A and B are shown apart, each in its own frame.
Chain A
Amino acid sequence: MRTLLYTEAIREALDLAMAADQRVYVMGLGVPDPKAIFGTTAGLQAKYGPQRVFDMPVAENGMTGVAIGSALAGMRPVMVHQRVDFALLALDQIANSAAKWSFLFAGKQSVPLVIRLLIGRGWGQGPQHSQSLQATFAHFPGLKVVMPTSPYDAKGMLLAAIADPNPVVFLEHRWLHSTFGHVPPEHYHAPLSQALVSRPGSDITLVASSLAHIEALQAANILAQHNISAEVLDLRSIQPLDRETIHASLKKTKRLLVVDHGWKSFGVAGEIIASMSEIAFTDLISAPQRVTAPDHYPATTPAHANLYYPGVAEIVNAALHMFKRTPMSESDMQLTIPLHRDVPDKNFRGPF
């Protein structure tokens, strides 16, 4: 079985997409530079030339419009921003143009655009460089919003996104970039609309995506020591939301805990809980719960990183609470969490 880094999986998807389709091009600040967006675009300019793989002016909104226009004219742009926060400058073009184009023009035109956005938490990047904005994008009908967790899905969903005739916001967590996983070498698609049962269980359903999904899996291991069998769902796609898979799981487990790194209010977790309250109310035997970032901003100081971000311990204890069990101390969980929760692992030496 071949394993690749998450970043290599992304790179391979871009490579295959460009090889298969002349219309695909990749642009973004730093795309051809020596760091190559953390390696995800390495070697692509040498292979496909500066017409198809290129740097851009520091002009997020304008260049998003350029990408949209070129898509209308027949291209398949893949745009990348090193932080999701920079896409806020382009929210006009993303939300007012790309998201509405097909609707506005009665389905006669669409915008096949992929925007890769990197979530940059850690090392004191502070409130303007580490936001989790999945709910913001998902709020606009007409945008697909995906957050693959595994390298397998990163590759398959990126290929599917590039092939899709609609705008797709593709969110990559920086802390997943250094994870490994099985990635077949061929061209394949992973669905842009389906959640995955990543760990079957019978007592409680944990729904999460991206880095939060890894934390949910770790929490499920600890819950197993308490004889609680957690079923873990890797959401993969935020918009559309796979309500059927979540509902099917709840029929079995009857308990719902959603984990999301976005803010608590008006967020992904809230939407999942609301829709399950609508369609699965009678299946549930306890009030659904959520573990999210607080409705506030992470300060730069490492002292607050430890307190701001929810993690495995918070998930475990939220679940235990739903079973009316006593909470566990974090030290009893024997987690391999670095001293400061502002780095992905203890080998990280900053800055991002």
Chain B
Amino acid sequence: MTLISDKLARFTTMLRIRMVEEMIAARYDEQEMRCPVHLSIGQEAIAAGVCAAFTRSDYLFSTHRSHAHYLAKGGDLPGLIAEIYGRNTGCVRGRGGSMHLCDLDVGILATMPIVGSTLPIATGAAFGSKLLGDQRVTVVFFGDGTTEEGVFSESLNFAALQQLPIVFICENNLYSVYSPLEVRQPARDRVALAAAHGITAALGDGDDVEAIFSLTENAVARARNGGGPSFLEFATYRWREHCGPHYDNDIGYRSEAEFLAWQQRDPLARTERELLASGELCAATLSDIKASLQDEIETAFTAAREAPFPDESTLFTDLFVPTELCVQAA
């Protein structure tokens, strides 16, 4: 294959996330993925645009809704699928399932479902990088709901105080589970809230992968050069139910019309249209990309389903690591 452009690479990342999650959705009712799944379908542009601005050695933290972030940062696909299937070949050997991902080879330290818990931890990772002078920048993803937790302010405060190399990415999809933003927050401006800490902050279109990329690229460059933290909020929408593979517009917390309006804006279709129009992508290449992704994804699912479950002998391991491993060389 010819060398693909950066734009095409970002599109491919989005497409790959979409295809992976649609496969999860399609197979979920087989009752073999026995853990909660929070899909990012509709929100892919943020993961793809943001992560393209980071290197493999930069750190990433995320939440319960993290498949997209994991994949965009380069997390191992077979490791993700096997994890959701609870297999020993999963990225944390079946310990955590969909909500606890990790791939240290590409800087994905942790995704965790306790809302807000990774915000200060990510801040701490950035603090560690600053102290060590290791040039890493940390990215932490979280939702609109997370900005209501006390640790949101606490993290912004410390990150600003210490001018830490961290980029806070808020994906505002308008809901926390089935609770709309307006019943949880006054009409406050979270960008201004971050800016009030002296943090460089901006609001972006969560459907525009290139705009997301360039906002983040600036933020990362600033962080790497000692310019301190940034906060970026992106407007977006979760298409499927909060947790699980189905659509839930019928249950009454949001309208079908609202959903359809957002679906119209489909960030993936939009990017595809743009690339086809500009000639950076042609129909033949697109179908090649799709076919090879389909292959890759099917292979990962097959491998996961054939992989062994964790052995009984691992039931009680890892509560601590052996003490000698903790002794760091001076």
Contacts and interface: CB of A to CB of B under 8 A. Distances in A.
A73 to B, nearest CB: 22
Interface residues of A, number: 41
B182 to A, nearest CB: 10
A55 B97 CA distance: 29
Interface string B127-159: 000000000000000000110111000000000
A327 interface: no
Contact of B148 (A59, A294, A297): A59
A301 B83 CA distance: 8
Given A124-B97, A300-B86, A300-B96, A86 B148 contact: no
A54 interface: yes
Interface residues of B, number: 44
Interface string A287-303: 00000001011011111
Name the residue in A30, A61, A85, A300 with the highest tally of chain B Cβ atoms < 10 Å from its Cβ.
Answer: A300
A333 B149 CA distance: 48
Interface stretch (A157-165, A172-180, A247-255, A344-352): A344-352
A301 B86 contact: yes
B86 A302 contact: yes
A107 interface: no
B253 to A, nearest CB: 5
B176 A126 contact: no
Interface stretch (B29-37, B68-76, B263-271, B280-288): B29-37
A274 B115 CA distance: 37
Contacts, number: 125
Name the residue in A35, A86, A308 with the highest tally of chain B Cβ atoms < 10 Å from its Cβ.
Answer: A35
Contacts of B37: 351
Contacts of B253: 33-34
Contact of A54 (B98, B145, B183): B183
Nearest to A82: B177
Given A85-B114, A301-B87, A301-B309, A58 B184 contact: yes
Contact of B35 (A29, A59, A86, A125): A125
A58 B31 contact: no
A268 B183 CA distance: 39
A200 interface: no
B179 interface: yes
Given A29-B179, A30-B179, A308 B315 contact: yes
Interface in A47-71: 54-62
A56 B184 contact: yes
14 contacts: A29-B179, A30-B179, A61-B150, A124-B36, A124-B97, A125-B36, A128-B99, A296-B316, A300-B35, A304-B310, A307-B312, A308-B315, A349-B29, A350-B36
